[in-house]
Chains A and B, each alone.
Chain A
Amino acid sequence: MSATNEQQGLYLPQMEHDACGIGFVAHLKGEKSHRIIRDALTMLENMEHRGACGCEENTGDGAGILLQIPHNYYKEEAKKIGVDLPAIGKYGTGFIFFPQDEATRNTCKDFIEQTAKKLNFTILGYRKITTDNSPIGPTAQSAEPAIEQLFIKPEFDFKEDIELERKLYILRAHTVREINNILGGKDQFYYTNLSCHTVIYKGQLTTHQVRQYYPELNDESVTSALAIVHSRFSTNTFPRWRLAQPFRYIAHNGEINTLQGNLNWMRTREHLLECDVFTKQEIDMFMPICYRDQSDSASLDNVIELLYLAGRSLPHAIMMLIPEAWQDNEQMEPWKKAFYEYHDCLMEPWDGPASICFTDGKMIGATLDRNGLRPSRYVVYNDGRVVMSSEAGALPTEEEKVLQKGRLQPGKMFIINMEEGRIISDDELKKNICTEYPYQEWLNKHKITFSDLPKSTIKEEKLLHKELLQQQLAFGYTSEDVKTIITPMAETAYEAIGSMGTDTPLAVLSDQSQNLSNYFKQLFAQVTNPPIDPIRERMVMSTFAALGGASSILTTTENHCKQIAIRQPILSNADISKLRYINHPDFKVITIQALFTASGKKGALERGIERICKEAEDAVANGNNIIIISDKGVNKDFAPIPSLLATGAIHHHLIRTKTRIDCSLVVESGDIREVHQMATHIGYGATSINPYLAYQTIYDLNKEKLKHLNKTNEKLVENFIKASSNGLLKVFSKMGISTHQSYHGSQIFEIVGLSKKVVEKCFTGSISRLDGIGFDEIAKEVLKRHSLAFPDIENLEQRLEVGGNYQWKRRGEAHMFNPDTIHLLQYATKKNDYKIFKQYVEKINNQTEKAITLRSLLDFDLSAATPISIDEVEPVENILKRFASGAMSFGSISHEAHSTLAIAMNRMGGKSNCGEGGEDEIRFEKKDNGDWERSAIKQVASGRFGVTSYYLANADELQIKLAQGAKPGEGGQLPGHKVDEWIGRVRHSTPGVGLISPPPHHDIYSIEDLAQLIFDLKNANPKARINTKLVAEAGVGTVAAGVAKAKSDVILISGYDGGTGASPISSIKHAGLPWELGLAEAHQTLVKNNLRSRVVLQTDGMLRTGKDIAVATLLGAEEWGIATAALVVEGCIMMRKCHLNTCPVGIATQDPILRARFTGDPQHVINFFTFIVQDLREIMAQLGFRTINEMVGQSQLLKRRENITHWKYKHLDLSPIIFKANVGEDVGLYKQMRQAHPIDDAILDKQLVEAATKSLEEKTPTTGQFNIINTDRTVGAMLSYHISAQYKKQGLPEDTIQFKFTGSAGQSFGAFSANGIKFELEGEANDYFGKGLSGGKLIVYPSAKATFRPTENIIIGNVAFYGATSGEAYIRGMAGERFCVRNSGAIAVVQGVGDHGCEYMTGGLAIILGKTGRNFAAGMSGGVAYVYDMENDFPKNVNKEMVELEDLDDEDLITLKHYIDRHIKYTGSNIAKNIIDNWEVTSKFFVKVMPTDYKKVLQERKNKIGKVSV
């Protein structure tokens, strides 16, 4: 396989992701042994399922182990090459990955030699490492380096080891930089590390290959007191030996979302680097700190290393980079807050999910980021060993020796100090670090809070209506902007909501003068890292920012905190005035006018940009540390430079001149009026924003339109700012980023349609793949607006244009669905008239005048085709099977609309998708007339509504919805008024109570988690295909490759434009990409990795005609989904009012009056799909394809349309989209082979099913006993499938199948357990315990051999009972984070839980007989929790937004006692027994957590029943 990592087509090497299993084994007292290594490797092998392999079983993504230098072994080995090693600590060693070619290797060695001399080192020798590459696959072998071990000795002794480490670092960093330069920048030269303490064995290996590849790891004389292991799951399969982990100081499981920004900021800091321990010359030798083409984890390691070597401890360095959520944490100790606040002035967080193991060879530790989304469990044994890993039991637990079982909590850290022989807890460790300097004092002295600054005396000028209008015109305002965007923000303090997706052109295709931000598409998290819920998990997020310059990150002085702190980035007009006229010795503010000559002459804008860049550079040189970029002062001669362009240009210019870090940028602009515009500015370096014109617009609105609100201007502006600020949090969170500071400058966008030159100059390093318009064209758009504001003749009464972005308007933006196309489509399908349909097709396809889609710029290359007769093309019926209707939930659309679509799809052999709201079980049975309302595709979304074993068993396909085109990275909400009795029943929720879908799936925080969920679902229905739904964005290709490796059968790439019931308008418009880009990238990447032939690739998003389908097929899709057009056929007329429940044609509504107006008919839908296929077949005949399979991926038959002359899009380069890789014949372009699913292996469930045969056949009871280890995953799901398939919803009678397990259960123990199952587990379990519990009973208690106290020790992992719908569970011990998340009916008793307990719960009961973590009951809209609050500290842990705390009434006490009694019966819990024994006293300590709305609804119901009975 000739895989490379260069950019070809749309594939982006920098978008590669990895995630992993990590862990360490160490001895508390530092006792070295070979056992530590052996155990660590065993643990690694037991996390094989957390890693992945690509198209070859035996090529892994990378694995490795870090240990202390096994001095004795090396001493002997060194002798063999004639080297006499000095004492440990007196020499440095490390493995070098050399190029295979000997001559080149010698070149490298020569250079090392020279450098060593310069640095006063003596090279002792190189040892060739004996490796055995026989087990490794060809891909890995193709890039296998020649590995040699370098021994090197300093000529002088150092007082401390760290001095030697520093010198080794200089040597290593310098030689890497220089040698790779000499070798032509191909990165063929690499050190695993070079240290006097540690050594790393790693490579592109699977976990099992590590000890085979490095045989010496099996040598008993190789010993260490600590070992860190890492198994990598990457989204690609390219040979990248050096990306295997551990790195020099850390092993990282996670993903740095803000990497681009962090790297930029690091780069800007380099010139400030100075400290006592490195000379300037030395610093020059080892710079740059990070390289661009390495992984996020590698960069993180680089920075940690630098901070550590410059004098901070490792924990200190990590706390700087990955701080806890401190800003809004009222429970945090002041000294810790001061520490974080101080370091905030030095460094922005490296934000993203992270579980990190770290070591300097003397101490070892681990930490979790603020969200704590990666599992980390540890065990302390009484013989001094500590085992920490991603999964409990990965190294089989010796229960009798356990002293303590724990988990890492969000933001927490622990270290093992081997010198002291003890574990140092988070509290102790951080207290020491945080009190090292008087941080608080320094802050008090130097840091200024913005709100404390004196108000400016300059009075704010309010524009007259006429002046305002002129400004609005100059900045391209439309009345729609005012009405749809600004008004709701000012009125309600929320962003506006819209529906039905978007069908307008990309900015670069549009005829309408565009705001520059429209060329930027927001990126978002899917699969490889989770988005955050910015509302329910607000506590981890922050909008804090600081203004001012910066100092060296290597030193610690009070001057570092000379900054101004602001709470959130949007400044009012008074605020900016305050800042502009600040009078303070530490701050010097300058305003740069971002205007250019409105002459219309070529180059005018570019000259303007050059001018402001120069001005900014001079300003910084003159000591200004706050620059206000302002576009005020527009007049007839001067037009505004688009503020985003100005910001990006100055930001990058200052980065290039290495002065960026010396100042902050504030933008004062009329261009900014909506959240996306704010996000882009912050993403390109603005710290704060003053959208002055939006405020002036609000003042004007308040004169008439908003007068009725009786609010002051200030209040309305405050609302606008609040909406903006929350909107920004939402934008950050969809990328999984928690803080403004780390989003700042992170450039998390793809640019579509700006030229290379513009991007290079102003948005350096951003993703932009299609080229596009240059400065002059941008100027042209600006000048259009400018000419309206300053016309040559001022006769006409000026008005704002009406807009037409969010609604169709004649004078506005083009829409694919417009009065003509909707009419023709409805008419054609009703009349069953193909001729009329062809008129519709012509209207949609012909976009010569007004381009709407990228595909409209593509044409079929008929010169490359040999036409055939249409009769030779495969028949309509065959092709119809490849269609799916879009996922739309019952709830978002009416029963009538939903079932009409389902019937139609079933009649024609396609697949309908039930959406995320569950499915009424009556639909599983066919109707008397033969029609079937059952949806073939069942969706599994983050809310898990109605996802039961029975539901899953009744599907042909299970679709994991990772994102939705209209609002990727966001959750959803079904308001209470839409949840009627019927919908409530189907969703397993209470009618009248609102429902929340979380932004992330709480069981998918990374790619290996997705593999786990796929495995779960495959167990829950072995016959169903698993479909993973992704949304197009830059990097979706690498994600798709990861998904294919996670064994999904189908990958759906959705366009960003898809319909929706409700979504913030800014998300509908600005997040994600059209499918042309996403699909092509996914297909290209899958082909490149030779993974394409294992998966079906499907696409959807505004597919309208046969041409659309043909283009999609040529770009790589063999199946397609259509939703909006099918709804139009049912009668939808694009009201875009789905979120208001007022759909006048009875589709997106639950109002019975409106539902009665529905007139859709399955036959019309079938007519539509038949027409589409007919249209497609005509194209196939033209192109000479007999079958779809022949056609998939043949993108050479597409070409750029020839007659493109449009001034804007003629600049687009579409070749990356139609790029076709030159691959061998053995590389398939469409699905040809089955995925090898792990359920095919001898999994434990097969034994269970076997053992339960009698129960399954005759309903008779069965008992059984089994041993279990962490690789036994999803135990019970397949057994439940058999129960549900046979006995439907009711399952088997209670406790029919009673199985007992002993050991450490793998993830998803008891998942989807159906009625009749009773599982007892003696030992412990991992994450996702009882996921989707569907009536079964789960019991866990510690091993009988164990001596620890269950209440203080963790027994089940994170995210237990996620999406459980019914059943019971009794857990004698503590659970991790997010216990009972999205539970809608199960009853669970547990003895303690972590953070976010009962999150989003809508039903069921949780009884917690011990401590809870923070943010309990966030988003909990239903169900009840009883918490035993002995210490009376529970209330502060509760998120009270939706719940109330109450005392228990008699009814509650009866219920509670009943379940505690059962808990005792099943688990023998002492605590529970104690409680019952002292019931009089203990019962008073219980607190009831009751959701407010839920209580109201229950009360109303009670009243109703009461009335009826009276």
Chain B
Amino acid sequence: MGKPTGFLEFTRELPKYKDAKERIHEYKEIYLEFAEEKTKTQAARCMDCGIPFCHNGCPLGNIIPEFNDAVYNSDWKLASDILLSTNNFPEFTGRICPAPCESACVLGINQPPVAIEHIEKSIIEKAFHLNLVKPNIPKERTGKKVAVVGSGPAGLATAAQLNKAGHSVTVFERADKIGGLLRYGIPDFKLEKTIVERRVKLMEEEGIIFKTNTNVGIDISIEELNKNFDAIVLSGGSTIPRDLPIPGRQFKGVFPAMEFLSQQNKRVSEIVTEVDHRGSKYENGDIFASAKNVIVIGGGDTGSDCVGTSNRHGAKSVTQIELLSKPPETRAESTPWPLWPMQLRTSSSHEEGCERQWSILTKEFIGNENGELTGLKIVEIEWKTVDGKPQMVEIQGTERVLPCELALLAMGFVHPQHQGLLESLTVELDERGNVKANNYRSSVDKFFTAGDMRRGQSLVVWAISEGRECAREVDIFLMGESLLEAKDKGVLQVI
């Protein structure tokens, strides 16, 4: 611990955002400069707890107090070593992770928590800046070949880990670029794509082969995979969005959020908006929010990204509606520290201009004769507990129509795409429609699975964790043992 009394002397401080009026005119990241000294001060707030709850709260098991200490001591090499030992891509999580570590931070019991995510990002950017992040080319190759299907954070993490262990890894991606949701889901104002490219380049230099525009099951057969690879990891993500099958769904102007977001990501990267993030053709052409009344249905992060993007498009109005009731301003009693708190979260996108409504049920999409969306019929609801289960009850007389020309469905994803690869593989699925696995091993020999494809939609940080743990299992499968780090099993453990 750098400074035992740091938490008493300093308060939490984060980089400021650029002014909202300015930032909505660009797709650049929104943070202003933050002096290195200030970051060290933030690191000094870490208390080096006897039980670092942050370290437990982090799905990756990041060893947070240790890197905080290194930052406080300006030992960026040590800090990045520690950080990279548990997290292959801190430059992603340092930007877009909702930071469950901070919710679990002990200081957060009665004070603002330590700015862990900011410190994480600072470490990795400093490490890149100091040229400390170099391709880590394995000395010896094991001769084993592994295919990774899907290049989202889970697939990338799997690939990186397996390559580290000396296996030859090929990553297949059906889209035109590597990165999955990192690339086409998250807007640039949250994660500039150069960051993703920087990492992919490094991985290429480390010897990983990336094959884009390759739809496994179609462009390359399962038999080929089986023949050419010693193990295959399925990490295709959870790609089927939850739909809203209510009257009027067919009107032009009702689109899944990903269709909207992926297009904008392509535009920023100057890629022709021809095929979407799944490698399929855009059926509905270019979607713009400009001068429209936009309603985002769904109150989560994807919804928030839609809000930010719509404002950048110059929407006339942006409204975000949510079925659930408004969470409390502070941590709900039902989610005490160190749990992930149920509480109202306001993102930078919300600050840029947006009306938010809760306890709203969408009854019907209203359209004009041209089949174009003109409004949304909604009703306010109330949540009641019946037989111990929450139930919604419509509030009489609250039904109304909101004007709307663009409705974005951001209600999450239900499961991976079954059609195609999974079906032909006849892999077992779980009750939620995800690929069923035991220790990341699917029901089909040699086939492993990780990320949203296995656990269902989740955070990037979870995807990385899945990829790492899966890679270790693959390594054990191939070699009989593994020295790859796992988050809950130390290498000194004797079994």
- Is B109 positioned at the interface, with any CB of A under 8 Å from its CB? yes
- Find residues 759-809 in chain A having any chain B CB closer than 8 Å to their own CB: 780-781, 784-785, 788, 791, 793-797, 799, 801-802, 804, 806-809
B53 touches A476 (CB 8 A): no
Interface centre among B55, B479, B493, B495 (most CB of A within 10 A): B493
- Is B164 positioned at the interface, with any CB of A under 8 Å from its CB? yes
Of A795, A804, A1133, the contact of B49 (CB 8 Å cutoff): A1133
Q: How far in angstroms is the closest Cβ of chain B from A113?
A: 63
Q: Which residues of B contact A797 (CB under 8 A)?
A: 81, 136
B487 touches A822 (CB 8 A): no
CA–CA, A797 and B111, complex, Å:
38
- Is A839 positioned at the interface, with any CB of B under 8 Å from its CB? no
Q: Quick one: CB contact mask for B103-129 with A, threshold 8 Å, 1 for yes?
A: 010110111000000000000000000
Q: Which residues of B contact A794 (CB under 8 A)?
A: 139-140
- Is A1323 positioned at the interface, with any CB of B under 8 Å from its CB? no
Q: How far in angstroms is the closest Cβ of chain A from B494?
A: 5
A1133 touches B51 (CB 8 A): yes
A793 touches B140 (CB 8 A): yes
Q: How far in angstroms is the closest Cβ of chain A from B95?
A: 24
- Is B488 positioned at the interface, with any CB of A under 8 Å from its CB? yes
Name which residue of chain A comes closest to B107, CB basis. A1144
- Is B147 positioned at the interface, with any CB of A under 8 Å from its CB? no
Q: Which residues of A contact B484 (CB under 8 A)?
A: 796
Q: Quick one: CB contact mask for B33-63 with A, threshold 8 Å, 1 for yes?
A: 0000000000000011111110111000101
Of A795, A812, A1144, the contact of B106 (CB 8 Å cutoff): A1144
Interface segment out of the listed A208-216, A1135-1143, A1364-1372: A1135-1143
- Find residues 813-837 in chain A having any chain B CB closer than 8 Å to their own CB: 815, 817-820, 822-823, 826-827, 830
Name which residue of chain B comes closest to A1135, CB basis. B50
- Is A1153 positioned at the interface, with any CB of B under 8 Å from its CB? yes
A819-B104, A830-B336, A1135-B47 given; A811·B487 CB < 8 A? yes
- Is A294 positioned at the interface, with any CB of B under 8 Å from its CB? no
Q: How far in angstroms is the closest Cβ of chain A from B80?
A: 12
A799-B81, A808-B50 given; A479·B66 CB < 8 A? yes
- Find residues 138-188 in chain B having any chain A CB closer than 8 Å to their own CB: 138-140, 142, 164-166
Interface centre among B4, B139, B338, B483 (most CB of A within 10 A): B483
CA–CA, A1207 and B494, complex, Å:
9
Of B49, B142, B338, B483, the contact of A807 (CB 8 Å cutoff): B49
- Is B246 positioned at the interface, with any CB of A under 8 Å from its CB? no
Q: Quick one: CB contact mask for B190-227 with A, threshold 8 Å, 1 for yes?
A: 00000000000000000000000000000000000000
- Is A512 positioned at the interface, with any CB of B under 8 Å from its CB? yes
CA–CA, A826 and B53, complex, Å:
14
CA–CA, A830 and B336, complex, Å:
10
- Is B440 positioned at the interface, with any CB of A under 8 Å from its CB? no
A512 touches B490 (CB 8 A): yes
Q: How far in angstroms is the closest Cβ of chain B from A511?
A: 5
Name which residue of chain A comes closest to B57, CB basis. A819
A1142 touches B55 (CB 8 A): no
- Is A513 positioned at the interface, with any CB of B under 8 Å from its CB? yes
B483 touches A788 (CB 8 A): yes
- Is B491 positioned at the interface, with any CB of A under 8 Å from its CB? yes
B61 touches A810 (CB 8 A): yes
Q: Which residues of A contact B487 (CB under 8 A)?
A: 810-811
CA–CA, A1189 and B251, complex, Å:
78
- Is B486 positioned at the interface, with any CB of A under 8 Å from its CB? yes
- Is B489 positioned at the interface, with any CB of A under 8 Å from its CB? yes
A1137 touches B4 (CB 8 A): yes
Q: Quick one: CB contact mask for B459-495 with A, threshold 8 Å, 1 for yes?
A: 0000000000000000000010001111111111111
A802-B66, A810-B488, A1153-B8 given; A512·B493 CB < 8 A? yes
B490 touches A804 (CB 8 A): yes
- Is A1427 positioned at the interface, with any CB of B under 8 Å from its CB? no
- Find residues 314-372 in chain B having any chain A CB closer than 8 Å to their own CB: 336-339
B50 touches A478 (CB 8 A): no
CA–CA, A796 and B84, complex, Å:
13
B139 touches A785 (CB 8 A): no
CA–CA, A714 and B126, complex, Å:
34
CA–CA, A476 and B81, complex, Å:
20
A808 touches B51 (CB 8 A): yes
A1142 touches B50 (CB 8 A): no
CA–CA, A704 and B69, complex, Å:
14
Of B56, B66, B494, the contact of A818 (CB 8 Å cutoff): B56
Summed over the interface, the residue pairs from A and B with CB atoms below 8 Å come to a total of: 147
Q: How far in angstroms is the closest Cβ of chain A from B101?
A: 12
A811-B488, A822-B51 given; A511·B165 CB < 8 A? no
Q: How far in angstroms is the closest Cβ of chain B from A1134?
A: 4
CA–CA, A1131 and B78, complex, Å:
33
Name which residue of chain A comes closest to B84, CB basis. A797
Q: How far in angstroms is the closest Cβ of chain B from A503?
A: 10
Interface centre among B49, B78, B166 (most CB of A within 10 A): B49
A512-B492, A793-B142 given; A807·B8 CB < 8 A? no
A511 touches B493 (CB 8 A): yes
- Is B75 positioned at the interface, with any CB of A under 8 Å from its CB? yes
A809 touches B55 (CB 8 A): yes
Q: Which residues of B contact A806 (CB under 8 A)?
A: 50
- Is A1154 positioned at the interface, with any CB of B under 8 Å from its CB? yes
B4 touches A801 (CB 8 A): no
CA–CA, A1142 and B65, complex, Å:
16
CA–CA, A810 and B49, complex, Å:
13
Name which residue of chain A comes closest to B485, CB basis. A811
Q: Which residues of B contact A513 (CB under 8 A)?
A: 492-494
- Is B85 positioned at the interface, with any CB of A under 8 Å from its CB? yes
Q: Which residues of A contact B228 (CB under 8 A)?
A: none
CA–CA, A1211 and B343, complex, Å:
51
Interface centre among A511, A817, A1133, A1208 (most CB of B within 10 A): A1133
A511-B495, A809-B55 given; A1135·B106 CB < 8 A? yes
Q: How far in angstroms is the closest Cβ of chain A from B422?
A: 32
A801-B490, A810-B61, A810-B488 given; A796·B483 CB < 8 A? yes
Q: Which residues of A contact B138 (CB under 8 A)?
A: 795
Q: Which residues of A contact B166 (CB under 8 A)?
A: 793, 795
A788 touches B139 (CB 8 A): no
B493 touches A788 (CB 8 A): no
Of A796, A809, A1133, A1207, the contact of B165 (CB 8 Å cutoff): A796
Q: How far in angstroms is the closest Cβ of chain B from A1211?
A: 14
Q: Which residues of B contact A818 (CB under 8 A)?
A: 51, 56
B5 touches A809 (CB 8 A): no
A1157 touches B110 (CB 8 A): yes
A500-B50, A799-B85 given; A810·B56 CB < 8 A? yes
CA–CA, A1134 and B52, complex, Å:
9
CA–CA, A1420 and B216, complex, Å:
81
B51 touches A815 (CB 8 A): yes
CA–CA, A808 and B56, complex, Å:
9
Q: Which residues of A contact B4 (CB under 8 A)?
A: 1137, 1140, 1142
A811 touches B110 (CB 8 A): no
A785 touches B492 (CB 8 A): yes
Of B165, B486, B494, the contact of A781 (CB 8 Å cutoff): B494
- Find residues 1099-1144 in chain A having any chain B CB closer than 8 Å to their own CB: 1131, 1133-1137, 1140, 1142, 1144
Q: Which residues of A contact B483 (CB under 8 A)?
A: 788, 791, 796
CA–CA, A799 and B485, complex, Å:
10
- Is A1145 positioned at the interface, with any CB of B under 8 Å from its CB? yes
Q: Which residues of B contact A807 (CB under 8 A)?
A: 48-52, 65
14 contacts between A and B (CB under 8 A): A511-B494, A704-B75, A784-B494, A788-B491, A793-B142, A793-B479, A795-B164, A807-B48, A809-B63, A819-B57, A819-B104, A1131-B109, A1140-B4, A1207-B494
Given pairs A1142-B4, A1207-B495, 20 additional interface contacts (CB within 8 A): A511-B493, A511-B494, A513-B492, A513-B494, A781-B494, A788-B492, A795-B166, A801-B491, A802-B63, A811-B488, A819-B56, A822-B51, A823-B338, A827-B336, A1133-B50, A1137-B48, A1142-B8, A1144-B106, A1159-B110, A1208-B494
